[in-house]
Amino acid sequence: MNTRNRTPSEYIGYGLYLYFSGLSLRRASERLSSCFVKRNHVSIWNWIQKYKPKKLSNKRKRIEEYIIDETIIKVGSDYMWLWIAIEPEDREILGINISLERNMFVTERFLSGLIKAHGEHPVSTDGGTWYPQACKFLKLDHHLHSPFEKSIIERTMQYVKDRTECFDNYFPCNKKKCKLKHVINWLNLFVGYHNKELKTLK
């Protein structure tokens, strides 16, 4: 991880850790500045964009099923669909995506990415018509959420939404034809932090 002012990588990592632990950009920068190196909130924002997050692990693990849901998030003045897939045992996030639309084609692409990374497994959803259609096309077993499945996916979705509700309010993307790379970077970093924290709690 490199920045123009050559902030040591361990300080960048700590600043990102503070932010994804729940502190605002300003509070995270204040904590970092008081303990190690003086950096402002813009620096931490830039680290989020410059740091190249690792892809979600492609290492095959034992997965019973995909529990999937989607929700609306606000990015600047726009609303987008956030898609998340988790597995029930460890509740790790297996896949995450954003889209402008919610339909069978978007769902099929999301599921195809999960299959490529983790193999074919049954799919649990809330029953939106786009899910059984996509599962039928990909020849995946589909069923509606059980009360347990519904509970854990809703908690995960709310957890992510709580951290994203102010995401782009102060740093909107003003680039022409923005591909939302900054949002994807943020989400991948967040997922990496989330999954790592789950492992430390075992």
Token pair in block for residue 69: 């849901």
Q: Comparing 134 with 56, which gets the higher pLDDT?
A: 134
Q: What is the pLDDT of residue 179?
A: 59
Instruction: Provide the pLDDT confidence category of residue 73 given band limits of 50, 70 and 90.
Output: confident
Whole-model pTM above 0.95? no
Evaluate if residue 41 carries a pLDDT over 60.
yes
Q: Write the CA distances from 2 to 10, 47, 172, integer angstroms.
A: 11, 9, 23
Other Cβ atoms within 10 Å of 89 Cβ, number: 11
Evaluate if residue 170 carries a pLDDT over 70.
no
Is residue 113 exposed (0-12), middle (13-18) or buried (19+ Cβ within 10 Å)? Answer: middle
For the ranges 107-121, 147-161, 175-189, which has the lowest average pLDDT? 175-189
Helical H segments across the chain, by residue range: 9-20, 25-35, 41-50, 104-118, 130-138, 147-164, 181-200
Q: What would the mean pLDDT of 37-54 be, rounded to a whole number?
A: 76
Q: What would the mean pLDDT of 55-72 be, rounded to a whole number?
A: 77
Please, what is the end-to-end C-alpha distance for the chain in angstroms?
Answer: 28
Q: Are 80 and 98 in contact (CB under 8 A)?
A: yes
Q: What is the pLDDT of residue 176?
A: 59
What average pLDDT does the chain have? Answer: 82
Q: What is the pLDDT of residue 99?
A: 92
- Which string of DSSP letters, residue by residue, matches 10-29? HHHHHHHHHHHTT--HHHHH
Instruction: Provide the pLDDT confidence category of residue 66 given band limits of 50, 70 and 90.
Output: very high
Give the closest residue to 50 by CA, choosing from 187, 182, 195, 149.
182
Evaluate if residue 61 carries a pLDDT over 80.
no
The residues pairing with 93 across neighbouring beta strands, listed in sequence order, are: 86
Angle ∠(61,114,144) on CA atoms, nearest 5: 95
